[in-house]
Chains A and B, each alone.
Chain A
Amino acid sequence: MAWQWFHRLGSPRWFYQKTSGWLPWLALASVILLVTGSVWGLGFAPEDAKQGNSYRIIFIHVPAAFLALAGYYIMAISGAIGLIWKMKLSFAVMRAAAPIGAVLTFISLFTGAVWGKPTWGTYWVWDARITSMLILLFLYIGVMALSHAVSREQVADKASALLALVGTVNIPIIYKSVDWWFTLHQPATIRLTESSSIDPSMFYPLLVMISGFYCTYAWTLLTHTRALILRREMKTQWVQQELAGEK
Protein backbone atom coordinates (compact mmCIF):
# COMPACT_ATOMS: atom_id res chain seq x y z
CA MET A 1 0.00 0.00 0.00
CA ALA A 2 1.13 3.50 -0.79
CA TRP A 3 0.11 4.59 2.67
CA GLN A 4 2.50 2.22 4.34
CA TRP A 5 5.38 4.66 4.69
CA PHE A 6 3.09 7.31 5.99
CA HIS A 7 1.72 5.06 8.66
CA ARG A 8 5.18 4.01 9.65
CA LEU A 9 6.14 7.64 9.92
CA GLY A 10 3.13 8.06 12.20
CA SER A 11 4.08 5.13 14.38
CA PRO A 12 5.21 6.34 17.80
CA ARG A 13 7.59 3.43 18.13
CA TRP A 14 9.33 4.12 14.82
CA PHE A 15 9.58 7.80 15.72
CA TYR A 16 10.97 7.09 19.17
CA GLN A 17 13.65 4.75 17.97
CA LYS A 18 14.57 6.88 14.95
CA THR A 19 14.97 10.09 16.92
CA SER A 20 17.13 8.56 19.64
CA GLY A 21 20.14 9.06 17.43
CA TRP A 22 19.35 12.65 16.55
CA LEU A 23 19.16 14.02 20.05
CA PRO A 24 22.88 14.22 20.94
CA TRP A 25 23.69 15.97 17.65
CA LEU A 26 20.91 18.49 18.13
CA ALA A 27 22.05 19.15 21.67
CA LEU A 28 25.62 19.63 20.50
CA ALA A 29 24.59 22.02 17.73
CA SER A 30 22.41 23.99 20.15
CA VAL A 31 25.21 24.42 22.66
CA ILE A 32 27.77 25.46 20.04
CA LEU A 33 25.45 27.93 18.34
CA LEU A 34 24.10 29.43 21.55
CA VAL A 35 27.54 29.85 23.13
CA THR A 36 29.02 31.33 19.95
CA GLY A 37 26.06 33.65 19.46
CA SER A 38 25.99 34.87 23.06
CA VAL A 39 29.71 35.52 23.29
CA TRP A 40 29.72 37.24 19.92
CA GLY A 41 26.57 39.23 20.57
CA LEU A 42 27.25 40.22 24.14
CA GLY A 43 31.00 40.61 24.00
CA PHE A 44 32.09 41.57 20.52
CA ALA A 45 29.19 43.18 18.67
CA PRO A 46 29.46 46.99 18.75
CA GLU A 47 27.42 49.20 21.03
CA ASP A 48 24.26 50.74 19.60
CA ALA A 49 24.55 54.47 18.89
CA LYS A 50 21.19 55.36 20.46
CA GLN A 51 20.49 52.61 22.97
CA GLY A 52 23.94 51.76 24.23
CA ASN A 53 24.33 48.28 25.61
CA SER A 54 20.67 47.71 26.46
CA TYR A 55 19.91 46.70 22.88
CA ARG A 56 21.84 43.49 23.41
CA ILE A 57 18.72 41.86 24.79
CA ILE A 58 17.57 41.44 21.18
CA PHE A 59 19.86 38.44 20.99
CA ILE A 60 17.33 36.65 23.16
CA HIS A 61 14.22 38.68 22.47
CA VAL A 62 14.15 38.35 18.70
CA PRO A 63 14.83 34.59 18.42
CA ALA A 64 12.26 33.90 21.16
CA ALA A 65 9.63 35.99 19.39
CA PHE A 66 10.45 34.28 16.08
CA LEU A 67 9.96 30.83 17.50
CA ALA A 68 6.94 31.77 19.57
CA LEU A 69 5.05 32.49 16.37
CA ALA A 70 6.60 29.66 14.35
CA GLY A 71 5.84 27.33 17.25
CA TYR A 72 2.15 28.13 17.02
CA TYR A 73 2.15 27.10 13.39
CA ILE A 74 4.11 23.95 14.16
CA MET A 75 1.52 23.12 16.81
CA ALA A 76 -1.42 23.86 14.53
CA ILE A 77 -0.02 22.00 11.53
CA SER A 78 0.77 18.88 13.53
CA GLY A 79 -2.73 19.11 15.01
CA ALA A 80 -4.19 19.33 11.52
CA ILE A 81 -2.19 16.30 10.37
CA GLY A 82 -3.50 14.43 13.39
CA LEU A 83 -7.09 15.38 12.60
CA ILE A 84 -6.87 14.50 8.92
CA TRP A 85 -4.78 11.32 8.99
CA LYS A 86 -5.56 10.25 12.57
CA MET A 87 -1.91 10.01 13.47
CA LYS A 88 -1.23 9.55 17.15
CA LEU A 89 2.29 10.85 16.74
CA SER A 90 1.35 14.24 15.39
CA PHE A 91 -1.07 14.79 18.27
CA ALA A 92 1.80 14.09 20.63
CA VAL A 93 3.92 16.67 18.78
CA MET A 94 1.07 19.17 19.04
CA ARG A 95 0.64 18.61 22.76
CA ALA A 96 4.38 18.92 23.30
CA ALA A 97 4.64 22.11 21.24
CA ALA A 98 2.01 24.04 23.23
CA PRO A 99 3.88 24.64 26.52
CA ILE A 100 7.20 25.25 24.73
CA GLY A 101 5.60 27.89 22.56
CA ALA A 102 3.87 29.48 25.53
CA VAL A 103 7.16 29.72 27.42
CA LEU A 104 8.89 31.27 24.40
CA THR A 105 6.07 33.80 24.06
CA PHE A 106 6.46 34.64 27.70
CA ILE A 107 10.23 35.01 27.33
CA SER A 108 9.80 37.38 24.41
CA LEU A 109 7.25 39.43 26.39
CA PHE A 110 9.47 39.48 29.46
CA THR A 111 12.64 40.46 27.62
CA GLY A 112 10.59 43.06 25.74
CA ALA A 113 9.50 44.56 29.05
CA VAL A 114 13.06 44.57 30.41
CA TRP A 115 14.21 46.22 27.22
CA GLY A 116 11.36 48.74 27.40
CA LYS A 117 12.43 50.15 30.74
CA PRO A 118 15.66 51.86 29.57
CA THR A 119 14.27 52.53 26.09
CA TRP A 120 10.81 53.93 26.79
CA GLY A 121 11.14 54.50 30.51
CA THR A 122 8.38 52.02 31.30
CA TYR A 123 8.06 48.26 31.47
CA TRP A 124 4.89 48.00 29.49
CA VAL A 125 3.64 49.93 26.50
CA TRP A 126 0.68 48.97 24.38
CA ASP A 127 2.82 48.65 21.32
CA ALA A 128 1.37 46.71 18.39
CA ARG A 129 3.90 43.90 18.57
CA ILE A 130 3.75 43.55 22.33
CA THR A 131 -0.04 43.46 22.26
CA SER A 132 -0.04 40.85 19.50
CA MET A 133 2.42 38.77 21.50
CA LEU A 134 0.17 39.01 24.53
CA ILE A 135 -2.77 37.76 22.50
CA LEU A 136 -0.60 34.95 21.14
CA LEU A 137 0.15 33.98 24.73
CA PHE A 138 -3.60 33.86 25.42
CA LEU A 139 -4.10 31.67 22.35
CA TYR A 140 -1.46 29.26 23.62
CA ILE A 141 -2.97 29.22 27.09
CA GLY A 142 -6.41 28.56 25.60
CA VAL A 143 -5.15 25.48 23.73
CA MET A 144 -3.33 24.19 26.82
CA ALA A 145 -6.28 24.82 29.12
CA LEU A 146 -8.65 23.03 26.77
CA SER A 147 -6.39 20.02 26.40
CA HIS A 148 -6.12 19.73 30.17
CA ALA A 149 -9.84 20.23 30.80
CA VAL A 150 -11.02 17.36 28.59
CA SER A 151 -10.56 14.10 30.44
CA ARG A 152 -10.43 11.65 27.51
CA GLU A 153 -7.07 12.01 25.88
CA GLN A 154 -8.19 11.28 22.32
CA VAL A 155 -10.97 13.84 22.57
CA ALA A 156 -8.61 16.37 24.16
CA ASP A 157 -6.17 15.87 21.27
CA LYS A 158 -8.76 16.51 18.61
CA ALA A 159 -10.40 19.42 20.41
CA SER A 160 -7.15 21.28 21.02
CA ALA A 161 -6.02 20.60 17.44
CA LEU A 162 -9.21 22.19 16.17
CA LEU A 163 -8.77 25.20 18.46
CA ALA A 164 -5.18 25.61 17.31
CA LEU A 165 -6.38 25.60 13.71
CA VAL A 166 -9.02 28.22 14.45
CA GLY A 167 -6.28 30.30 16.06
CA THR A 168 -4.11 29.93 12.96
CA VAL A 169 -6.84 31.38 10.77
CA ASN A 170 -7.25 34.21 13.25
CA ILE A 171 -3.63 35.16 13.87
CA PRO A 172 -3.15 37.20 10.67
CA ILE A 173 -6.46 39.00 11.25
CA ILE A 174 -5.53 39.70 14.86
CA TYR A 175 -2.08 40.99 13.89
CA LYS A 176 -3.49 43.24 11.18
CA SER A 177 -6.19 44.64 13.42
CA VAL A 178 -3.81 45.27 16.31
CA ASP A 179 -1.46 47.01 13.92
CA TRP A 180 -4.26 49.24 12.72
CA TRP A 181 -5.38 49.90 16.29
CA PHE A 182 -1.84 50.93 17.24
CA THR A 183 -1.47 53.47 14.42
CA LEU A 184 -4.82 54.89 15.45
CA HIS A 185 -3.93 55.40 19.10
CA GLN A 186 -0.27 56.19 18.90
CA PRO A 187 0.59 59.73 17.89
CA ALA A 188 4.09 59.80 16.44
CA THR A 189 6.40 58.37 19.11
CA ILE A 190 9.44 56.19 18.75
CA ARG A 191 8.50 53.19 16.69
CA LEU A 192 10.87 50.41 17.43
CA THR A 193 8.86 48.11 15.25
CA GLU A 194 10.32 49.82 12.21
CA SER A 195 13.83 48.79 13.04
CA SER A 196 16.26 50.98 11.18
CA SER A 197 18.35 48.68 9.00
CA ILE A 198 20.51 46.61 11.27
CA ASP A 199 24.28 46.66 10.92
CA PRO A 200 25.91 43.37 9.76
CA SER A 201 28.10 43.37 12.87
CA MET A 202 24.93 43.01 14.95
CA PHE A 203 23.02 40.95 12.39
CA TYR A 204 25.40 38.00 12.11
CA PRO A 205 25.49 37.16 15.83
CA LEU A 206 21.69 37.55 15.80
CA LEU A 207 21.49 35.04 12.97
CA VAL A 208 23.65 32.61 14.95
CA MET A 209 21.39 33.04 17.96
CA ILE A 210 18.28 32.45 15.86
CA SER A 211 19.71 29.19 14.49
CA GLY A 212 20.74 28.25 18.01
CA PHE A 213 17.21 28.82 19.23
CA TYR A 214 15.83 26.74 16.36
CA CYS A 215 18.09 23.83 17.31
CA THR A 216 17.19 24.16 20.98
CA TYR A 217 13.53 24.29 20.04
CA ALA A 218 13.85 21.14 17.96
CA TRP A 219 15.70 19.36 20.76
CA THR A 220 13.12 20.39 23.38
CA LEU A 221 10.21 19.47 21.14
CA LEU A 222 11.68 16.05 20.36
CA THR A 223 12.46 15.32 24.00
CA HIS A 224 9.02 16.42 25.16
CA THR A 225 7.29 14.45 22.40
CA ARG A 226 9.30 11.34 23.28
CA ALA A 227 8.35 11.69 26.92
CA LEU A 228 4.67 12.03 25.97
CA ILE A 229 4.91 8.97 23.71
CA LEU A 230 6.42 6.89 26.50
CA ARG A 231 3.61 7.92 28.84
CA ARG A 232 0.88 7.26 26.29
CA GLU A 233 2.23 3.93 25.09
CA MET A 234 3.21 2.81 28.56
CA LYS A 235 1.31 -0.46 28.34
CA THR A 236 2.76 -1.62 25.05
CA GLN A 237 5.52 -4.15 24.81
CA TRP A 238 8.06 -2.00 23.00
CA VAL A 239 7.97 0.67 25.69
CA GLN A 240 8.51 -1.97 28.35
CA GLN A 241 11.49 -3.30 26.42
CA GLU A 242 12.78 0.20 25.82
CA LEU A 243 12.63 1.02 29.51
CA ALA A 244 14.17 -2.27 30.50
CA GLY A 245 16.98 -1.78 27.99
CA GLU A 246 17.91 1.61 29.35
CA LYS A 247 18.64 0.32 32.80
Chain B
Amino acid sequence: MSLTDVQVQAVGARETPGFAALFKIEMLLALRKRADIANPLLFFVTVLALLPLGVGPEPELLAKMAPGMIWVMALLATMLSQESLFRGDFEDGTLEQLALLPQPLYFAVLAKSLVHWIATGLPLALLSPLLALMLNLPTEGYLCLFVSLFLGTASLSLIGAIGAALTVALRRPGLLLALIVMPLYVPVLIFGTGAVQAAIDGYAYSAQLAILAALLAAAAALAPLAAAGAIRISLDN
Protein backbone atom coordinates (compact mmCIF):
# COMPACT_ATOMS: atom_id res chain seq x y z
CA MET B 1 0.00 0.00 0.00
CA SER B 2 2.86 2.36 0.80
CA LEU B 3 4.17 1.76 -2.70
CA THR B 4 0.90 3.07 -4.12
CA ASP B 5 1.08 6.26 -2.11
CA VAL B 6 4.57 6.99 -3.32
CA GLN B 7 3.53 6.41 -6.91
CA VAL B 8 0.53 8.63 -6.56
CA GLN B 9 2.58 11.40 -5.06
CA ALA B 10 5.20 11.13 -7.74
CA VAL B 11 2.65 12.22 -10.30
CA GLY B 12 1.02 15.33 -8.95
CA ALA B 13 -2.10 17.28 -9.70
CA ARG B 14 -2.08 20.91 -10.74
CA GLU B 15 -3.54 23.75 -8.81
CA THR B 16 -6.81 25.02 -10.17
CA PRO B 17 -6.88 28.65 -11.28
CA GLY B 18 -9.04 30.87 -9.10
CA PHE B 19 -11.33 33.73 -10.01
CA ALA B 20 -8.46 36.25 -10.04
CA ALA B 21 -6.45 34.18 -12.52
CA LEU B 22 -9.51 33.70 -14.75
CA PHE B 23 -10.26 37.41 -14.64
CA LYS B 24 -6.65 38.35 -15.41
CA ILE B 25 -6.41 36.13 -18.46
CA GLU B 26 -9.77 37.31 -19.80
CA MET B 27 -8.71 40.94 -19.37
CA LEU B 28 -5.49 40.23 -21.22
CA LEU B 29 -7.43 38.64 -24.10
CA ALA B 30 -9.91 41.50 -24.20
CA LEU B 31 -7.14 44.09 -24.33
CA ARG B 32 -5.57 42.24 -27.25
CA LYS B 33 -8.79 42.42 -29.25
CA ARG B 34 -9.37 46.15 -29.07
CA ALA B 35 -11.53 46.18 -32.19
CA ASP B 36 -14.05 44.05 -30.34
CA ILE B 37 -14.23 46.71 -27.65
CA ALA B 38 -14.49 49.59 -30.11
CA ASN B 39 -17.22 48.13 -32.32
CA PRO B 40 -20.15 48.17 -29.86
CA LEU B 41 -19.20 51.71 -28.86
CA LEU B 42 -19.08 52.87 -32.45
CA PHE B 43 -22.40 51.17 -33.10
CA PHE B 44 -23.89 52.94 -30.07
CA VAL B 45 -22.67 56.38 -31.16
CA THR B 46 -23.47 55.96 -34.86
CA VAL B 47 -27.04 54.80 -34.41
CA LEU B 48 -27.79 57.51 -31.89
CA ALA B 49 -26.25 60.11 -34.18
CA LEU B 50 -28.60 58.92 -36.93
CA LEU B 51 -31.65 59.32 -34.71
CA PRO B 52 -32.18 63.08 -35.30
CA LEU B 53 -31.96 62.41 -39.04
CA GLY B 54 -34.88 60.07 -38.68
CA VAL B 55 -37.17 61.90 -36.30
CA GLY B 56 -36.17 65.51 -36.96
CA PRO B 57 -33.99 67.92 -35.05
CA GLU B 58 -36.57 69.52 -32.70
CA PRO B 59 -34.87 69.72 -29.30
CA GLU B 60 -38.03 68.94 -27.31
CA LEU B 61 -38.79 65.80 -29.28
CA LEU B 62 -35.20 64.58 -28.97
CA ALA B 63 -35.15 65.31 -25.25
CA LYS B 64 -38.34 63.30 -24.84
CA MET B 65 -36.93 60.31 -26.71
CA ALA B 66 -33.38 60.48 -25.38
CA PRO B 67 -33.64 58.25 -22.27
CA GLY B 68 -35.43 55.46 -24.08
CA MET B 69 -33.30 55.63 -27.22
CA ILE B 70 -30.02 55.69 -25.33
CA TRP B 71 -31.15 52.72 -23.26
CA VAL B 72 -32.40 50.68 -26.22
CA MET B 73 -29.17 51.29 -28.11
CA ALA B 74 -27.11 50.31 -25.06
CA LEU B 75 -29.16 47.11 -24.95
CA LEU B 76 -28.51 46.35 -28.61
CA ALA B 77 -24.81 47.17 -28.39
CA THR B 78 -24.38 44.85 -25.42
CA MET B 79 -26.32 42.07 -27.05
CA LEU B 80 -24.54 42.24 -30.39
CA SER B 81 -21.15 41.95 -28.73
CA GLN B 82 -22.34 39.03 -26.61
CA GLU B 83 -22.49 36.62 -29.51
CA SER B 84 -18.74 36.13 -29.40
CA LEU B 85 -18.54 35.83 -25.61
CA PHE B 86 -17.87 32.08 -25.52
CA ARG B 87 -17.38 31.42 -29.22
CA GLY B 88 -13.59 31.57 -29.40
CA ASP B 89 -13.19 29.49 -26.26
CA PHE B 90 -15.66 26.94 -27.58
CA GLU B 91 -13.90 26.54 -30.90
CA ASP B 92 -10.38 26.18 -29.55
CA GLY B 93 -11.41 23.78 -26.78
CA THR B 94 -10.73 26.10 -23.85
CA LEU B 95 -14.33 25.87 -22.75
CA GLU B 96 -14.03 22.09 -22.63
CA GLN B 97 -10.93 22.39 -20.48
CA LEU B 98 -12.61 24.92 -18.17
CA ALA B 99 -15.53 22.54 -17.76
CA LEU B 100 -13.10 19.82 -16.64
CA LEU B 101 -11.67 21.87 -13.78
CA PRO B 102 -12.74 20.58 -10.37
CA GLN B 103 -13.96 24.06 -9.49
CA PRO B 104 -17.44 25.08 -10.75
CA LEU B 105 -17.79 26.82 -14.10
CA TYR B 106 -19.69 29.56 -12.26
CA PHE B 107 -16.51 31.53 -11.63
CA ALA B 108 -15.30 31.25 -15.20
CA VAL B 109 -18.64 32.60 -16.46
CA LEU B 110 -18.62 35.35 -13.83
CA ALA B 111 -15.10 36.39 -14.84
CA LYS B 112 -16.04 36.42 -18.51
CA SER B 113 -19.21 38.45 -17.89
CA LEU B 114 -17.31 40.92 -15.74
CA VAL B 115 -14.71 41.43 -18.45
CA HIS B 116 -17.44 41.75 -21.05
CA TRP B 117 -19.05 44.48 -18.96
CA ILE B 118 -15.75 46.29 -18.49
CA ALA B 119 -15.22 46.17 -22.25
CA THR B 120 -18.73 47.23 -23.32
CA GLY B 121 -21.12 48.37 -20.57
CA LEU B 122 -18.66 50.51 -18.67
CA PRO B 123 -17.45 52.49 -21.73
CA LEU B 124 -21.08 52.89 -22.84
CA ALA B 125 -21.97 54.35 -19.45
CA LEU B 126 -18.95 56.64 -19.56
CA LEU B 127 -19.85 57.77 -23.06
CA SER B 128 -23.52 58.35 -22.27
CA PRO B 129 -23.23 62.02 -21.13
CA LEU B 130 -21.83 62.90 -24.54
CA LEU B 131 -24.82 61.34 -26.29
CA ALA B 132 -27.18 62.86 -23.78
CA LEU B 133 -25.73 66.21 -24.75
CA MET B 134 -26.22 65.52 -28.46
CA LEU B 135 -29.81 64.44 -27.87
CA ASN B 136 -30.58 67.44 -25.72
CA LEU B 137 -31.34 65.49 -22.56
CA PRO B 138 -32.09 67.85 -19.67
CA THR B 139 -29.06 68.15 -17.40
CA GLU B 140 -30.97 66.77 -14.41
CA GLY B 141 -30.87 63.35 -16.09
CA TYR B 142 -27.11 63.06 -16.67
CA LEU B 143 -26.02 61.55 -13.40
CA CYS B 144 -28.97 59.20 -13.28
CA LEU B 145 -28.38 58.09 -16.88
CA PHE B 146 -24.78 57.26 -16.05
CA VAL B 147 -25.57 55.38 -12.86
CA SER B 148 -28.50 53.48 -14.39
CA LEU B 149 -26.38 52.41 -17.36
CA PHE B 150 -23.50 51.52 -15.05
CA LEU B 151 -25.70 49.16 -13.04
CA GLY B 152 -28.01 48.04 -15.83
CA THR B 153 -25.42 47.05 -18.44
CA ALA B 154 -23.77 44.78 -15.87
CA SER B 155 -27.05 42.89 -15.54
CA LEU B 156 -27.35 42.79 -19.32
CA SER B 157 -23.87 41.24 -19.63
CA LEU B 158 -24.76 38.58 -17.07
CA ILE B 159 -28.18 37.74 -18.55
CA GLY B 160 -26.81 37.75 -22.08
CA ALA B 161 -24.20 35.19 -21.07
CA ILE B 162 -27.03 32.65 -20.70
CA GLY B 163 -28.11 33.22 -24.29
CA ALA B 164 -24.53 33.18 -25.54
CA ALA B 165 -23.90 29.88 -23.74
CA LEU B 166 -27.06 28.28 -25.12
CA THR B 167 -26.21 29.24 -28.70
CA VAL B 168 -22.42 28.78 -28.64
CA ALA B 169 -22.46 25.56 -30.63
CA LEU B 170 -24.70 26.94 -33.38
CA ARG B 171 -23.20 28.18 -36.58
CA ARG B 172 -25.19 31.43 -36.87
CA PRO B 173 -26.60 32.34 -33.51
CA GLY B 174 -27.10 36.09 -34.11
CA LEU B 175 -30.85 36.46 -34.47
CA LEU B 176 -31.67 33.50 -32.27
CA LEU B 177 -29.58 35.03 -29.50
CA ALA B 178 -31.60 38.24 -29.80
CA LEU B 179 -34.85 36.28 -29.66
CA ILE B 180 -33.79 34.43 -26.54
CA VAL B 181 -32.26 37.28 -24.65
CA MET B 182 -34.46 40.29 -25.46
CA PRO B 183 -37.50 39.28 -23.35
CA LEU B 184 -35.17 38.69 -20.41
CA TYR B 185 -33.82 42.23 -20.77
CA VAL B 186 -37.26 43.83 -20.27
CA PRO B 187 -37.10 44.55 -16.51
CA VAL B 188 -33.67 46.18 -16.78
CA LEU B 189 -34.85 48.35 -19.65
CA ILE B 190 -38.00 49.42 -17.83
CA PHE B 191 -36.27 50.42 -14.63
CA GLY B 192 -33.32 51.99 -16.45
CA THR B 193 -35.45 54.32 -18.54
CA GLY B 194 -37.87 54.79 -15.64
CA ALA B 195 -35.08 56.10 -13.44
CA VAL B 196 -33.86 58.58 -16.05
CA GLN B 197 -37.40 59.75 -16.79
CA ALA B 198 -38.04 60.32 -13.09
CA ALA B 199 -34.82 62.30 -12.79
CA ILE B 200 -35.78 64.53 -15.72
CA ASP B 201 -39.23 65.12 -14.29
CA GLY B 202 -37.67 66.12 -11.01
CA TYR B 203 -38.80 63.16 -8.94
CA ALA B 204 -36.73 60.97 -6.67
CA TYR B 205 -35.16 58.14 -8.61
CA SER B 206 -33.25 56.27 -5.94
CA ALA B 207 -35.93 53.58 -5.77
CA GLN B 208 -35.49 52.66 -9.43
CA LEU B 209 -31.72 52.61 -9.06
CA ALA B 210 -32.09 50.40 -5.98
CA ILE B 211 -34.21 47.99 -8.02
CA LEU B 212 -31.58 48.00 -10.78
CA ALA B 213 -28.96 47.17 -8.15
CA ALA B 214 -31.18 44.39 -6.81
CA LEU B 215 -31.62 42.99 -10.33
CA LEU B 216 -27.84 43.07 -10.71
CA ALA B 217 -27.36 41.19 -7.46
CA ALA B 218 -29.87 38.54 -8.51
CA ALA B 219 -28.32 38.28 -11.97
CA ALA B 220 -24.82 37.91 -10.54
CA ALA B 221 -25.99 35.10 -8.30
CA LEU B 222 -28.18 33.19 -10.75
CA ALA B 223 -27.22 33.98 -14.35
CA PRO B 224 -23.71 32.42 -14.21
CA LEU B 225 -25.27 29.26 -12.78
CA ALA B 226 -27.67 29.02 -15.70
CA ALA B 227 -24.94 29.90 -18.19
CA ALA B 228 -22.63 27.27 -16.70
CA GLY B 229 -25.35 24.67 -17.11
CA ALA B 230 -25.93 25.85 -20.66
CA ILE B 231 -22.23 25.53 -21.47
CA ARG B 232 -22.17 21.94 -20.25
CA ILE B 233 -25.21 21.23 -22.43
CA SER B 234 -23.69 22.95 -25.47
CA LEU B 235 -20.39 21.10 -25.04
CA ASP B 236 -22.20 17.79 -25.49
CA ASN B 237 -22.47 18.44 -29.19
Contacts and interface: CB of A to CB of B under 8 A. Distances in A.
Contacts, number: 75
B180 interface: yes
A146 B183 contact: no
Interface stretch (B76-84, B105-113, B228-236): B228-236
Nearest to A170: B184
Interface in A97-156: 135, 138-139, 141-142, 145-146, 149-150, 152, 154-155
Nearest to B183: A138
B179 A145 contact: yes
A221 interface: no
Nearest to B187: A177
Contact of B182 (A138, A155, A159, A162): A138
A142 B180 contact: yes
B226 A146 contact: no
A200 B188 CA distance: 41
Contact of B187 (A141, A145, A150, A174): A174
Contacts of B236: 152, 154-155, 158
A173 B183 CA distance: 11
B2 to A, nearest CB: 40
A94 interface: no
Given A162-B233, A166-B162, A150 B183 contact: no
Contacts of B230: 159, 162
A174 B186 contact: yes
B237 A166 contact: no
A163 B180 contact: yes
B222 interface: yes
A171 to B, nearest CB: 9
Interface residues of B, number: 27
Interface stretch (A17-25, A178-186, A230-238): A178-186
Contacts of A145: 176, 179-180
B190 interface: yes
Contacts of B234: 155, 159
A141 B179 contact: yes
B49 interface: no
Given A141-B179, A162-B230, A150 B169 contact: yes
B179 A166 contact: no
B226 A165 contact: yes
B44 interface: no
A169 interface: yes
15 contacts: A138-B179, A142-B183, A146-B180, A149-B167, A150-B170, A152-B237, A155-B234, A158-B233, A158-B236, A163-B166, A170-B184, A177-B190, A181-B194, A184-B194, A184-B197
Q: Which 4 pairs from chain A and chain B are nearest by CB?
A: A177-B187, A138-B183, A142-B180, A158-B233
Interface of A: 135, 138-139, 141-142, 145-146, 149-150, 152, 154-155, 158-159, 162-163, 165-167, 169-170, 173-174, 176-178, 180-181, 184
Interface of B: 162, 166-167, 169-170, 173, 176, 179-180, 182-184, 186-187, 190-191, 194, 197, 215, 222, 226, 229-230, 233-234, 236-237
